[in-house]
Amino acid sequence: MKIQTKISLYFVVISIILFLIGSFISYYVIEAIILDEVDEALLTEEHEIYNSLKTNKTPEVYNSTIYSDITIGDVVQKAYRTFSDTSIYVSEEGETVLFRQLISVDNLRGKSYTITVRQSLLEQEDLATGITFTMIGILVSIIISFNLLGIWSERKLWSPFYNTLSKLEKFEIHKVTPLVLPESKLKEFDKLNKTLNELSSKIVKDYKNLKEFSENASHELQTPLSILRSKLDILIQDKSLNESQSVNFQTMYSAVNRLSKIINSLNIITKIDNEEFSKTEILVINNIINSQLEILDEVLATKDIRIEKEFSDTLEININKYMAETLVSNLLSNAIKHNIDSGFILIKTGSDFLEITNSGNALSTSPEEMFLRFRKESLTSDSTGLGLAIVKGICERYNLSVNYNYANHQHTLSITVIK
Amino acid sequence: MKILLIEDEIELRVSIAEYLSKEGYICETAINFEQAIEKIFTHNYECIIVDLMLPGGSGLDIIKQIKQNDISGGIIILSAKNSLDDKILGLEIGSDDYLTKPFFLPELNARVKSIIRRKNFDGKNEIIFNEIRVSESTRRIFVNNSPLDVTKMEYDLLLYFLGNIGIVLTKESIAENLLGDNADLMDSFNFIYTHIKNLRKKIISTGGGDYIKTVYSIGYKFGE
């Protein structure tokens, strides 16, 4: 729900409540004022009649109407005046009308005179209807004008906000350009834009630093590793080494080796994440598969792994060449590494997919974790556990989906082009 | 035979120089761009080993200078950057080989030898060790002048050994020499043992000596 709609809704609800209360109050206030006025008028009239009775002394001539009436009776002990409401049928109007009446009883010249004066009251119903219609009229016009104002303000006042929003949506961190949002005359939006500008330049700066750091870190680590390895290369030449020293040196040597491989893989992942390798071209993946298989020829022969190819169609992808080679070689390496002796690798391609199936033992962990960094099967702890993380990184980069499936001692990794 | 090593990292410089000196080379060193330029213009080297990242300038610029001024000597690039672009660029502007840090010293040694051999005996590129003769140009091995029928791996293995005579070679460095980055696809180093066994058998059966020795836990050594 839009803010404007929400505000309008609250406004309508509150207005209706306020107008209801207002209507009731005005009804009773108006009614009280009218009654007060009528009572005053009745008193004045009664006084006039009474005064004329005093001077004329002939009450009999007084015509009796529904508005005024004089009756003569016996002397009363005490004079009094009472106001009351009464309904009387008026033949001219053909309906019962509400009247306010003043009955005044007083003694005059040995008789009692009862003077009744009446005035028709405005019908309560009419008053209520009048007030209701007036209130509804005001309410409707206020709501309409408020909504018109809302529409106008959304178009006019909120336009900097929508502008900012659309720029934010397009903001991409690796583009390394911070947001440039314009100044706004409205204080809130101006503050928002300023904050976002600052935030984005800080993010971009941090991102750059992090990128540089991870690049430099993996790069800088290679030099100390080179030193370590070169010193070990020299140390193992020592002819006086005993068996346990040899074993220790061997352990150190292979640790250095593994460290170097991990750093290399991390380096590639960092580069993929940082969107290096930007130059792309349309490449036939089938050709890359063939050339990578050639490179792996000796390994395949040594491990006695059979290659089967089912190229039903050529797969063409717009991709960076190095990334394509890395992708294919990592997939094939994975299929080799997790294969069994005298196993097989089946490579299928179609116009929009690549599928690599290899024989192998069941996974010991869940398939979802496969693409995580440093996840690996305990069986081949020599691997860095980064191969499939690299595959995933490349696939995400080039809009490819990667899926894993295991059935009947066969692992299948399929890469599909997302249309 | 003189080699120039251009490397700013002192410990690495010391290790490489020490290693190559043992192989009978005279290894001179330069620690930065200016020193390197000064040395290449005043001395002759059989081989120049260049680190790409140097204080004062890029190793690539040194190679350009060498090529522009027709200075003789093979060039090997050492780089901590495992960047394909650098590798291609380096080879394009005239370097003969490229090694990524961290590298194995025997590997560097074998490559230095190979380059010097190529430069000195163009055409007839041969390595001779007692009764064993390897023709690099035809990729064939002769023992007592009779050709040896070997696989590609066995050939590479012997070449690596001959480049590092009397040096202990670790299984890791042999595996990487034979398979490159694919070495870690192998579950174990057993395949090295198989190849060595076969190579040894073939050499001995053709009347050659038993030169390959096992070094406990670490690897192998080729020598008398």
Q: How do the domains of chain A map onto residue ranges?
A: 3-146, 169-207, 211-273, 281-417
Q: Report ipTM for this prediction.
A: 0.86
B195-216 pLDDT per residue, tens? 999 999 999 999 999 999 999 8
φ/ψ of A275, rounded to 5, equals 55, 40
User: Do the strands A68-73 and A344-350 form a parallel or antiparallel pair, or are they unpaired?
Assistant: unpaired
Q: Are A356 and A288 in contact (CB under 8 A)?
A: no
A296 contact residues in B (CB cutoff 8 A): 182, 185
Q: How far apart are CA B166 and CA B171, in angstroms?
A: 15
For the cut 70, the answer to whether the pLDDT of residue B160 exceeds it is yes
Closest chain A residue by Cα to residue B13: A227
Q: Which of A226, A253, A302 sits opposite B172 (nearest CB)?
A: A253
User: Can you give the pLDDT at residue A1?
Assistant: 79
How many inter-chain contacts (A to B, CB under 8 Å) are there? 107
Instruction: Give just the sign of the alpha carbon dihedral A313, A354, A286, B186.
Output: negative
**Does the beta-carbon distance from A298 to B179 stay under 8 Å?**
yes
What value does the mean pLDDT take over residues A339-359? 92
Tokens (6 digits) for A223: 């030099």
User: Can you give the pLDDT at residue A375?
Assistant: 66
Of A253 and A367, the one with more pLDDT: A253
User: Do the strands A344-350 and A306-311 form a parallel or antiparallel pair, or are they unpaired?
Assistant: parallel
**Which DSSP helix (H) or strand (E) runs through A349?**
strand A344-350
B103 contact residues in A (CB cutoff 8 A): 226, 229
**Does the beta-carbon distance from B102 to A219 stay under 8 Å?**
no
**Does the beta-carbon distance from B168 to A253 stay under 8 Å?**
no
B84 contact residues in A (CB cutoff 8 A): 322
For the cut 90, the answer to whether the pLDDT of residue B132 exceeds it is yes
φ/ψ of A300, rounded to 5, equals -60, -40
* Span of A86-90, B128-132, B144-148 with lowest mean pLDDT: A86-90
Longest dimension (CA), chain A: 158
Q: Which of A229, A261, A337 sits opposite B104 (nearest CB)?
A: A229
Query: Which residues does A55 contact at the CB level (< 8 Å), separation at least 6?
Result: none
What domains are there in chain B, each with its CATH number? Answer: 2-120 (3.40.50.2300), 126-222 (1.10.10.10)
A249 contact residues in B (CB cutoff 8 A): 217-218
For the cut 80, the answer to whether the pLDDT of residue B123 exceeds it is no
A110-149 pLDDT per residue, tens? 788 888 888 887 677 787 888 889 989 999 999 899 889 8
Q: Which of 3.30.565.10, 3.30.420.590, 3.30.930.10, 3.40.640.10 is the CATH number of A281-417?
A: 3.30.565.10
**Which DSSP helix (H) or strand (E) runs through B104?**
none
**Does the beta-carbon distance from A227 to B186 stay under 8 Å?**
no
Any A CB within 8 A of B10 CB: no
Any A CB within 8 A of B81 CB: yes
Q: How far apart are CA B145 and CA A227, in angstroms?
A: 42
Residue in this structure with the two tokens 């190819």, named with its chain if needed: A309
What per-residue string of b and e applies to B77-115 under the rule 16 or more CB within 10 Å gives b?
bbbbbbbeebbeebeebebbbbbbbbbbbbbbbbbbbbb
**Which DSSP helix (H) or strand (E) runs through A402?**
strand A400-407
Please give the single-letter amino acid code of residue A240.
S
Any A CB within 8 A of B42 CB: no
User: Can you give the pLDDT at residue B81?
Assistant: 67
**Does the beta-carbon distance from A233 to B15 stay under 8 Å?**
yes
Instruction: Give just the sign of the alpha carbon dihedral A255, A257, A258, A260.
Output: positive
Any A CB within 8 A of B186 CB: yes
For the cut 70, the answer to whether the pLDDT of residue A381 exceeds it is no
Any A CB within 8 A of B170 CB: yes
Any A CB within 8 A of B179 CB: yes
Q: Are B99 and B109 in contact (CB under 8 A)?
A: no
For the cut 80, the answer to whether the pLDDT of residue A73 exceeds it is no
Q: Of all residues in chain A, what percent carry a pLDDT higher than 90?
A: 25
Any A CB within 8 A of B165 CB: no
Closest-CA distance, A350 to chain B, in angstroms, reads: 27
Closest-CA distance, B24 to chain A, in angstroms, reads: 15
What value does the mean pLDDT take over residues A339-358? 92
Any A CB within 8 A of B16 CB: yes
Q: Is B99 helix (H, G, I), strand (E, B) or coil?
A: strand
**Does the beta-carbon distance from B218 to A322 stay under 8 Å?**
no
Instruction: Give just the sign of the alpha carbon dihedral A35, A36, A40, A43.
Output: positive
A228 contact residues in B (CB cutoff 8 A): 102
**Does the beta-carbon distance from A219 to B19 stay under 8 Å?**
no
Class of domain A3-146: alpha beta
